[in-house]
Protein backbone atom coordinates (compact mmCIF):
# COMPACT_ATOMS: atom_id res chain seq x y z
CA UNK A 1 0.00 0.00 0.00
CA UNK A 2 1.18 3.55 -0.74
CA UNK A 3 2.25 5.42 2.40
CA UNK A 4 -0.37 7.91 3.48
CA UNK A 5 -0.89 10.80 5.85
CA UNK A 6 -3.63 9.70 8.22
CA UNK A 7 -5.36 11.66 10.96
CA UNK A 8 -6.58 9.37 13.73
CA UNK A 9 -9.11 10.64 16.24
CA UNK A 10 -9.15 8.66 19.46
CA UNK A 11 -5.74 7.19 18.61
CA UNK A 12 -4.85 7.11 22.31
CA UNK A 13 -7.78 4.81 23.09
CA UNK A 14 -7.90 1.03 23.14
CA UNK A 15 -8.70 0.23 19.51
CA UNK A 16 -7.21 3.42 18.08
CA UNK A 17 -3.83 2.76 19.69
CA UNK A 18 -3.65 -0.75 18.20
CA UNK A 19 -4.44 0.67 14.76
CA UNK A 20 -1.80 3.40 15.24
CA UNK A 21 0.72 0.68 16.11
CA UNK A 22 -0.09 -1.38 13.01
CA UNK A 23 -0.16 1.57 10.59
CA UNK A 24 2.98 3.03 12.20
CA UNK A 25 4.78 -0.27 11.68
CA UNK A 26 3.68 -0.12 8.03
CA UNK A 27 5.37 3.28 7.70
CA UNK A 28 2.38 5.62 7.36
CA UNK A 29 2.65 9.24 8.51
CA UNK A 30 0.22 9.49 11.44
CA UNK A 31 -1.25 12.28 13.50
CA UNK A 32 -3.39 11.42 16.52
CA UNK A 33 -6.11 13.85 17.67
CA UNK A 34 -7.38 12.95 21.13
CA UNK A 35 -8.68 14.77 24.21
CA UNK A 36 -7.36 11.99 26.52
CA UNK A 37 -10.76 11.73 28.21
CA UNK A 38 -10.52 7.96 27.95
CA UNK A 39 -7.20 7.43 26.20
CA UNK A 40 -3.59 7.44 27.33
CA UNK A 41 -0.75 9.40 25.76
CA UNK A 42 1.71 6.51 26.36
CA UNK A 43 -0.42 4.20 24.26
CA UNK A 44 0.36 6.24 21.13
CA UNK A 45 3.46 4.48 19.83
CA UNK A 46 3.80 6.27 16.46
CA UNK A 47 3.21 9.64 14.85
CA UNK A 48 2.41 13.11 16.10
CA UNK A 49 -0.12 14.05 18.74
CA UNK A 50 -2.62 16.89 19.08
CA UNK A 51 -4.38 17.28 22.41
CA UNK A 52 -7.75 18.34 21.12
CA UNK A 53 -11.46 17.90 21.48
CA UNK A 54 -13.74 17.12 18.56
CA UNK A 55 -16.14 19.76 19.88
CA UNK A 56 -13.44 22.31 19.02
CA UNK A 57 -14.32 22.80 15.34
CA UNK A 58 -11.71 25.55 14.92
CA UNK A 59 -8.80 23.40 16.12
CA UNK A 60 -10.10 20.48 14.10
CA UNK A 61 -10.21 22.48 10.86
CA UNK A 62 -6.77 23.98 11.54
CA UNK A 63 -5.30 20.54 12.29
CA UNK A 64 -6.65 19.17 9.01
CA UNK A 65 -5.59 22.25 7.02
CA UNK A 66 -2.02 22.01 8.41
CA UNK A 67 -1.58 18.21 8.20
CA UNK A 68 -3.51 17.65 4.93
CA UNK A 69 -4.33 13.99 5.56
CA UNK A 70 -5.34 11.66 2.74
CA UNK A 71 -7.52 9.77 5.18
CA UNK A 72 -9.19 10.30 8.53
CA UNK A 73 -9.91 7.42 10.87
CA UNK A 74 -12.48 8.24 13.49
CA UNK A 75 -12.30 6.22 16.72
CA UNK A 76 -13.03 8.85 19.37
CA UNK A 77 -16.40 8.10 20.96
CA UNK A 78 -18.26 7.23 24.13
CA UNK A 79 -18.82 3.49 24.19
CA UNK A 80 -20.72 2.32 27.26
CA UNK A 81 -24.15 1.03 26.28
CA UNK A 82 -25.70 1.21 29.76
CA UNK A 83 -24.41 4.76 30.25
CA UNK A 84 -25.97 5.72 26.93
CA UNK A 85 -29.35 4.56 28.23
CA UNK A 86 -28.99 6.77 31.33
CA UNK A 87 -27.39 9.76 29.60
CA UNK A 88 -28.42 9.70 25.93
CA UNK A 89 -27.50 13.29 25.19
CA UNK A 90 -23.87 12.62 26.11
CA UNK A 91 -23.88 10.04 23.28
CA UNK A 92 -25.64 12.22 20.74
CA UNK A 93 -23.19 15.01 21.55
CA UNK A 94 -19.93 13.02 21.72
CA UNK A 95 -20.68 10.50 19.02
CA UNK A 96 -23.09 12.17 16.62
CA UNK A 97 -22.50 15.92 17.07
CA UNK A 98 -18.72 15.59 17.22
CA UNK A 99 -18.68 13.33 14.16
CA UNK A 100 -20.60 16.03 12.33
CA UNK A 101 -17.84 18.50 13.24
CA UNK A 102 -15.22 16.09 12.01
CA UNK A 103 -16.96 15.29 8.72
CA UNK A 104 -17.48 18.99 8.14
CA UNK A 105 -13.79 19.64 8.75
CA UNK A 106 -12.93 16.82 6.32
CA UNK A 107 -15.17 18.37 3.66
CA UNK A 108 -13.65 21.82 4.28
CA UNK A 109 -10.15 20.33 4.04
CA UNK A 110 -10.91 18.13 0.99
CA UNK A 111 -10.03 14.90 2.78
CA UNK A 112 -11.02 12.16 0.32
CA UNK A 113 -11.21 9.10 2.61
CA UNK A 114 -12.86 8.43 5.94
CA UNK A 115 -12.87 5.25 8.03
CA UNK A 116 -15.53 5.13 10.70
CA UNK A 117 -15.67 3.02 13.87
CA UNK A 118 -19.24 1.80 13.83
CA UNK A 119 -20.70 -0.98 15.90
CA UNK A 120 -22.81 -4.13 15.87
CA UNK A 121 -25.15 -2.19 18.17
CA UNK A 122 -26.60 -0.56 15.02
CA UNK A 123 -28.52 -3.81 14.41
CA UNK A 124 -30.41 -3.94 17.70
CA UNK A 125 -31.98 -7.37 18.19
CA UNK A 126 -31.30 -9.21 14.94
CA UNK A 127 -33.95 -11.56 13.59
CA UNK A 128 -31.36 -14.03 12.28
CA UNK A 129 -28.60 -16.00 14.02
CA UNK A 130 -25.95 -13.91 12.27
CA UNK A 131 -26.39 -10.43 10.87
CA UNK A 132 -25.09 -9.27 7.53
CA UNK A 133 -24.55 -5.70 6.46
CA UNK A 134 -27.88 -5.48 4.65
CA UNK A 135 -29.85 -6.28 7.82
CA UNK A 136 -32.05 -3.45 8.97
CA UNK A 137 -30.66 -0.96 11.46
CA UNK A 138 -32.82 -0.94 14.58
CA UNK A 139 -30.62 0.08 17.51
CA UNK A 140 -32.12 -0.58 20.94
CA UNK A 141 -29.94 1.87 22.83
CA UNK A 142 -28.72 5.47 22.31
CA UNK A 143 -25.15 4.27 21.78
CA UNK A 144 -26.21 2.28 18.69
CA UNK A 145 -28.52 5.08 17.54
CA UNK A 146 -25.73 7.67 17.85
CA UNK A 147 -23.59 5.56 15.50
CA UNK A 148 -26.40 4.87 13.00
CA UNK A 149 -26.79 8.63 12.59
CA UNK A 150 -23.11 8.99 11.73
CA UNK A 151 -23.36 6.22 9.14
CA UNK A 152 -26.29 8.07 7.63
CA UNK A 153 -24.36 11.35 7.51
CA UNK A 154 -21.44 9.63 5.84
CA UNK A 155 -23.69 8.01 3.26
CA UNK A 156 -25.39 11.31 2.44
CA UNK A 157 -22.15 13.28 2.24
CA UNK A 158 -20.61 10.60 0.00
CA UNK A 159 -23.68 10.78 -2.26
CA UNK A 160 -23.45 14.55 -2.43
CA UNK A 161 -19.69 14.75 -3.03
CA UNK A 162 -17.76 12.91 -5.73
CA UNK A 163 -14.47 13.20 -3.86
CA UNK A 164 -15.55 11.87 -0.46
CA UNK A 165 -15.59 8.13 0.15
CA UNK A 166 -15.91 6.24 3.41
CA UNK A 167 -15.74 2.80 4.92
CA UNK A 168 -17.80 2.07 7.98
CA UNK A 169 -16.57 -0.84 10.09
CA UNK A 170 -19.19 -2.34 12.38
CA UNK A 171 -17.24 -3.80 15.28
CA UNK A 172 -18.55 -6.75 17.21
CA UNK A 173 -16.94 -7.46 20.62
CA UNK A 174 -13.34 -6.35 20.53
CA UNK A 175 -10.94 -7.81 23.08
CA UNK A 176 -7.35 -8.93 23.65
CA UNK A 177 -4.09 -7.00 23.60
CA UNK A 178 -0.97 -6.65 21.44
CA UNK A 179 1.07 -9.86 21.33
CA UNK A 180 4.27 -8.03 22.34
CA UNK A 181 2.57 -6.72 25.49
CA UNK A 182 3.21 -3.07 24.56
CA UNK A 183 -0.42 -1.92 24.61
CA UNK A 184 -3.84 -3.20 25.66
CA UNK A 185 -7.11 -2.08 27.18
CA UNK A 186 -6.62 0.71 29.72
CA UNK A 187 -10.05 2.08 30.47
CA UNK A 188 -10.46 4.10 33.64
CA UNK A 189 -13.63 2.19 34.30
CA UNK A 190 -13.94 -1.12 32.59
CA UNK A 191 -17.36 -2.48 31.69
CA UNK A 192 -16.41 -5.22 29.22
CA UNK A 193 -16.86 -8.82 30.20
CA UNK A 194 -13.35 -10.15 29.44
CA UNK A 195 -11.59 -7.31 31.26
CA UNK A 196 -13.96 -7.63 34.20
CA UNK A 197 -13.45 -11.38 34.41
CA UNK A 198 -9.68 -10.84 34.46
CA UNK A 199 -10.00 -8.16 37.12
CA UNK A 200 -12.05 -10.61 39.18
CA UNK A 201 -9.26 -13.19 38.70
CA UNK A 202 -6.76 -10.61 39.99
CA UNK A 203 -8.94 -9.96 43.02
CA UNK A 204 -9.57 -6.38 41.94
CA UNK A 205 -13.30 -7.10 42.00
CA UNK A 206 -14.71 -9.39 44.70
CA UNK A 207 -16.68 -11.32 42.07
CA UNK A 208 -17.77 -11.25 38.45
CA UNK A 209 -21.43 -10.55 37.91
CA UNK A 210 -23.23 -12.20 35.01
CA UNK A 211 -25.95 -9.87 33.80
CA UNK A 212 -28.99 -11.96 32.98
CA UNK A 213 -29.44 -15.74 32.79
CA UNK A 214 -32.94 -15.74 31.30
CA UNK A 215 -32.19 -14.77 27.70
CA UNK A 216 -33.46 -16.86 24.80
CA UNK A 217 -30.05 -18.49 24.28
CA UNK A 218 -28.94 -22.09 24.96
CA UNK A 219 -27.51 -21.34 28.43
CA UNK A 220 -29.61 -18.23 29.13
CA UNK A 221 -26.67 -15.78 28.96
CA UNK A 222 -25.94 -13.37 26.11
CA UNK A 223 -23.94 -14.48 23.10
CA UNK A 224 -21.33 -12.23 21.49
CA UNK A 225 -18.81 -12.50 18.66
CA UNK A 226 -15.40 -11.71 20.21
CA UNK A 227 -12.73 -10.41 17.82
CA UNK A 228 -9.05 -9.86 18.66
CA UNK A 229 -8.04 -6.21 18.51
CA UNK A 230 -5.13 -6.95 16.13
CA UNK A 231 -7.49 -8.61 13.64
CA UNK A 232 -9.64 -5.51 13.89
CA UNK A 233 -6.59 -3.30 13.32
CA UNK A 234 -5.84 -5.34 10.17
CA UNK A 235 -9.40 -4.68 8.99
CA UNK A 236 -8.66 -0.93 9.21
CA UNK A 237 -5.49 -1.31 7.16
CA UNK A 238 -7.51 -3.29 4.59
CA UNK A 239 -10.22 -0.59 4.55
CA UNK A 240 -7.61 2.09 3.81
CA UNK A 241 -6.17 0.03 1.02
CA UNK A 242 -9.65 -0.49 -0.41
CA UNK A 243 -10.38 3.24 -0.37
CA UNK A 244 -7.06 3.94 -2.04
CA UNK A 245 -7.45 1.25 -4.71
CA UNK A 246 -11.19 1.36 -5.42
CA UNK A 247 -12.26 4.83 -4.34
CA UNK A 248 -15.66 3.50 -3.32
CA UNK A 249 -17.68 3.66 -0.12
CA UNK A 250 -18.70 0.52 1.73
CA UNK A 251 -19.79 -0.96 5.06
CA UNK A 252 -18.36 -4.10 6.68
CA UNK A 253 -19.02 -6.20 9.73
CA UNK A 254 -15.93 -7.00 11.81
CA UNK A 255 -16.38 -10.27 13.65
CA UNK A 256 -15.55 -13.94 13.27
CA UNK A 257 -19.04 -15.25 12.49
CA UNK A 258 -19.54 -17.28 15.64
CA UNK A 259 -20.22 -16.41 19.22
CA UNK A 260 -19.70 -17.42 22.85
CA UNK A 261 -22.07 -17.08 25.76
CA UNK A 262 -21.08 -15.10 28.84
CA UNK A 263 -20.79 -18.40 30.74
CA UNK A 264 -18.42 -19.75 28.08
CA UNK A 265 -16.28 -16.62 28.37
CA UNK A 266 -16.14 -17.09 32.14
CA UNK A 267 -15.01 -20.71 31.72
CA UNK A 268 -12.20 -19.67 29.35
CA UNK A 269 -11.16 -16.82 31.68
CA UNK A 270 -10.91 -19.26 34.60
CA UNK A 271 -8.88 -21.69 32.50
CA UNK A 272 -6.45 -19.07 31.19
CA UNK A 273 -5.91 -17.40 34.58
CA UNK A 274 -5.99 -20.59 36.63
CA UNK A 275 -8.17 -18.73 39.14
CA UNK A 276 -11.62 -19.99 40.13
CA UNK A 277 -12.93 -16.48 40.85
CA UNK A 278 -16.41 -16.05 42.36
CA UNK A 279 -19.28 -15.50 39.95
CA UNK A 280 -22.73 -14.15 40.77
CA UNK A 281 -25.69 -14.30 38.43
CA UNK A 282 -27.74 -11.10 38.66
CA UNK A 283 -30.44 -9.34 36.63
CA UNK A 284 -30.13 -8.14 33.07
CA UNK A 285 -28.17 -5.02 32.18
CA UNK A 286 -30.10 -2.35 30.28
CA UNK A 287 -29.75 -2.25 26.52
CA UNK A 288 -28.24 -5.72 25.93
CA UNK A 289 -29.53 -7.77 22.95
CA UNK A 290 -29.49 -11.56 23.59
CA UNK A 291 -27.30 -12.49 20.61
CA UNK A 292 -25.01 -10.48 18.35
CA UNK A 293 -22.96 -12.49 15.90
CA UNK A 294 -21.52 -11.22 12.63
CA UNK A 295 -22.00 -12.63 9.22
CA UNK A 296 -18.44 -11.75 8.24
CA UNK A 297 -18.36 -13.03 4.66
CA UNK A 298 -18.40 -9.61 3.02
CA UNK A 299 -15.21 -8.28 4.59
CA UNK A 300 -13.40 -11.45 3.53
CA UNK A 301 -14.69 -11.31 -0.03
CA UNK A 302 -14.37 -7.58 -0.68
CA UNK A 303 -11.38 -6.58 1.45
CA UNK A 304 -9.57 -9.93 1.42
CA UNK A 305 -9.41 -9.77 5.23
CA UNK A 306 -8.79 -13.06 7.01
CA UNK A 307 -8.79 -13.48 10.77
CA UNK A 308 -5.49 -14.58 12.32
CA UNK A 309 -6.58 -14.90 15.95
CA UNK A 310 -9.98 -16.55 15.84
CA UNK A 311 -9.43 -18.30 19.16
CA UNK A 312 -11.09 -17.13 22.38
CA UNK A 313 -8.30 -18.58 24.50
CA UNK A 314 -5.70 -16.57 22.60
CA UNK A 315 -7.82 -13.43 22.96
CA UNK A 316 -8.19 -13.92 26.70
CA UNK A 317 -4.52 -14.91 27.13
CA UNK A 318 -3.21 -11.73 25.47
CA UNK A 319 -5.64 -9.66 27.58
CA UNK A 320 -4.46 -11.54 30.72
CA UNK A 321 -0.75 -10.98 29.96
CA UNK A 322 -1.55 -7.27 29.65
CA UNK A 323 -3.85 -7.11 32.68
CA UNK A 324 -1.35 -8.86 34.96
CA UNK A 325 1.08 -5.99 34.43
CA UNK A 326 -1.46 -3.37 35.54
CA UNK A 327 -1.64 -2.31 39.18
N1 LIG B 1 -21.47 -8.82 30.91
C2 LIG B 1 -21.63 -9.48 32.13
N3 LIG B 1 -20.92 -9.04 33.20
C4 LIG B 1 -20.04 -7.99 33.13
C5 LIG B 1 -19.89 -7.34 31.88
C6 LIG B 1 -20.63 -7.78 30.80
O7 LIG B 1 -22.42 -10.42 32.25
O8 LIG B 1 -19.43 -7.64 34.15
C9 LIG B 1 -22.23 -9.29 29.74
C10 LIG B 1 -23.11 -8.22 29.11
O11 LIG B 1 -24.35 -8.15 29.76
C12 LIG B 1 -23.19 -8.71 27.66
C13 LIG B 1 -21.84 -9.41 27.44
O14 LIG B 1 -21.31 -9.67 28.74
O15 LIG B 1 -24.19 -9.69 27.57
C16 LIG B 1 -20.87 -8.53 26.67
O17 LIG B 1 -20.83 -7.28 27.29
P18 LIG B 1 -19.66 -6.23 27.04
O19 LIG B 1 -19.89 -5.06 27.94
O20 LIG B 1 -18.34 -6.91 27.14
O21 LIG B 1 -19.84 -5.82 25.51
P22 LIG B 1 -21.12 -5.26 24.70
O23 LIG B 1 -21.71 -6.46 24.02
O24 LIG B 1 -22.05 -4.60 25.65
O25 LIG B 1 -20.51 -4.33 23.72
Stated as kind and residue range, the H or E segment containing 196 is: helix 193-202
All domains of the chain in start order, with CATH = 5-175+227-254 (3.40.50.720), 193-224+257-325 (3.90.25.10)
How high is the mean pLDDT of the chain? 96
pLDDT score for 188: 75
**Mean pLDDT over residues 29-57, rounded?**
97
**Mean pLDDT over residues 12-32, rounded?**
98
Residue pair 167/249 in contact by the 8 Å Cβ criterion: yes
The model's pLDDT over 88-136, given as tens digits with 9 standing for 90+, comes to 999 999 999 999 999 999 999 999 999 999 999 999 998 888 999 999 9
User: Residue 82 CA: which ligand 1 atom is closest?
Assistant: 24
The model's pLDDT over 229-249, given as tens digits with 9 standing for 90+, comes to 999 999 999 999 999 998 899
State in Å: Cα 193 to ligand 1 middle: 5
**Mean pLDDT over residues 10-24, rounded?**
98
Complete edge-to-edge strand list for the sheet that includes strand 71-74: 48-51, 29-34, 5-9, 71-74, 113-119, 165-171, 250-254
pLDDT over 80 (residue 145): yes
Q: Which of 107, 114, 111 is nearest to 151 (CA)?
A: 114
How far apart (Å, rounded) are the C-alpha atoms in residues 269 and 182?
21
State in Å: Cα 143 to ligand 1 middle: 14
pLDDT score for 287: 80
In the 8-state DSSP scheme, what is residue 133? T
pLDDT over 80 (residue 20): yes
Residues 6+ apart with CB under 8 A from 246: none
pLDDT score for 54: 98
Residue pair 232/178 in contact by the 8 Å Cβ criterion: no
The model's pLDDT over 159-213, given as tens digits with 9 standing for 90+, comes to 999 999 999 999 999 999 999 999 999 877 889 999 999 999 999 999 999 999 9
What Cα–Cα distance (Å) separates residue 114 from each residue in 47, 70, 120, 169?
Answer: 18, 9, 19, 11
pLDDT over 90 (residue 288): no
| Residue of 119, 120, 201, 288 to mutate, ligand 1, most atoms within 8 A of C-beta | 288
33 is catalytic: no
What Cα–Cα distance (Å) separates residue 64 from each residue in 6, 58, 291?
Answer: 10, 10, 40
User: Residue 210 CA: which ligand 1 atom is closest?
Assistant: 7
pTM over 0.85: yes
How far apart (Å, rounded) are the C-alpha atoms in residues 37 and 59?
17
**Mean pLDDT over residues 39-58, rounded?**
97
Amino acid sequence: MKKQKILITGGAGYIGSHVVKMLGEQGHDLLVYDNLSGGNREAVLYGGFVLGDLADAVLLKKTIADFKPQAVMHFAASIIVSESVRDPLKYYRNNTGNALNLIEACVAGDVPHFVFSSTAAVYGIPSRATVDESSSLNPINPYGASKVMVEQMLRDVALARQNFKYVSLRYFNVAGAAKDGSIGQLYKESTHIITRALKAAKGEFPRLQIFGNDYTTPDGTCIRDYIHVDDLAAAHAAALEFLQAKGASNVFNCGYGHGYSVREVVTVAKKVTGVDFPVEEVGRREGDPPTLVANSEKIGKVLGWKPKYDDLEYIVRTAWEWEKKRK
